[in-house]
Amino acid sequence: MFSRSLLHAITEMPKLQGGAVITKFLPKSTEQDPASFTALFYSLAMGHINQPAGMKLSFASLPAYCIFYVTKNFGMITSGEKNYEMPQDSLLIFDCSLPFSIASDKGFEYDIIYYSGPQSTWFFDLIAKNLGDGEAFHLSPVASTGLSSFLRPLLPSGGQPHELNPLAFHRYMTDFFTEVADYSSPVPKDSEGAAPEYLRAVKEYIDNNFYKNITLDELENLFFVNRFKICKDFTTYHFISPIRYLHRTRIKKAQLLLKETTLKIHEIGYQVGYESTTQFINHFKKHTGKTPAAYRG
């Protein structure tokens, strides 16, 4: 049972209050058909955890990967030598073969899925290659991207993945990681092909309203086209998802403001649509390879 492996991997047992037991803060093992181990993504353990203030869970190396999603408050994950700030609606996918820890000063809630399978390493290595120096995939916030609709069915708090059969879990994982790989890939140039008329309207709307909090749900409601079709068609004709195009448009505008104005970094981030300066800096570096300050010189 993987939960037992998790328990044995704890490097320092935290102090617990009120008669609580450590297993309360560890996800439960999930049962899988052994035949799936050679062909499919499969879950090892998953759960929704409410980790109290001041608790730190530290683990030695484990033969697994992890999907970690914060549903409430703020925490910190250390994986290897890297620290990742984890506010609400943030996602981290990391390799548990590196020692890791999960901590929060004020306490936080999160969904966690430990998984493995033949495709796990291939997808993780592809995503890490796309990110360049990344040892993990870190995204915040998730709700403003097209990934949220693919992540939601897997989460203990967003669905009931413990009831998914092995094939359903594999399908959701494959769809999710295909989207993550696309999201993390270098941004290509637009296609010159003729797009459907409604897509021209979608692109024009993004061009004129990039500073707003545009989501796939909003585009669906505005243009009366299913959000999955919008995402698929936009990617087919422009070789980029609509949400990634939104971020690319924001960053292009930010580049102009950095070179042509004396506005402060946080002011530029806010003007182009980012309420969080950290989020702005992370997106800017992802698209340009530099921080806004370094780009401005």
Long-range contacts of residues 219-225, Cβ cutoff 8 Å, at least 24 apart: 223/198, 225/198
Measured distance CA(147)–CA(142) in Å, rounded: 7
Q: At what angle do helices 197-209 and 216-223 cross, to 10 degrees?
A: 130
Q: Do 162 and 270 share a domain, yes or no?
A: no
What CATH code is carried by the domain that includes residue 285? 1.10.10.60
Domain residue limits at 246: 188-297
Per-residue DSSP letters for 257-277? HHHH----HHHHHHHTT-S-H
Mean pLDDT of 269-297: 89
- For residues 63 and 50, is the Cβ–Cβ distance under 8 A? no
Bridge-based pairing of strands 28-29 and 42-51 is antiparallel
139 and 272 inside one domain = no
148 and 278 co-located in one domain: no
pLDDT, mean over the chain: 87
The answer to pTM > 0.85 is no
Indicate whether 83 and 121 sit together in one domain.
yes
Residue 88 to residue 95: CA distance in whole angstroms: 21
User: CA–CA separation, 69 vs 72, rounded Å?
Assistant: 9
pLDDT for residue 94: 95
Q: Are residues 172 and 252 in the same domain?
A: no
Residues 227 and 239 in one domain: yes
**Residue 140 sits in a domain of what CATH number?**
2.60.120.280
Same structural domain, 126 and 245: no
Residue 154 shares a structural domain with residue 192: no
CB 145 within 8 A of CB 86: no
One domain, residues 172 and 259? no
Both 197 and 274 in a single domain? Answer: yes
Residues 147 and 209 in one domain: no
- Residues 103, 205: one domain? no
Question: pLDDT tens, 75-102?
Answer: 999 998 889 999 999 999 999 999 999 9
Domain's final residue, options 152, 184, 216: 184
Q: Which tokens is 95 given?
A: 């390799």
pLDDT over 90, % of the chain:
49
Place of tokens 């320092």: 12
Q: Spell out the residues 6+ positions from residue 55 whose beta carbon is closer than 8 angstroms to its own.
A: 14, 25, 103, 104, 107
Domain boundary among the residues 184, 208, 241 is at 184
**Among 128, 149, 184, where does a domain finish?**
184
How confident is the model at residue 35, as a pLDDT?
A: 66
Give the chain's domain count: 2
70 close to 64: Cβ distance less than 8 angstroms? no
Tell me what the mean pLDDT of segment 129-148 comes to: 78
**96-118 pLDDT, tens digit each:** 999 999 999 999 999 999 999 98
Q: Are 189 and 170 in contact (CB under 8 A)?
A: no
3-state SS class at 6:
helix
Three-class SS of residue 141?
Answer: coil
Tell whether the torsion through CA atoms of 23, 25, 26 and 30 is positive or negative: positive
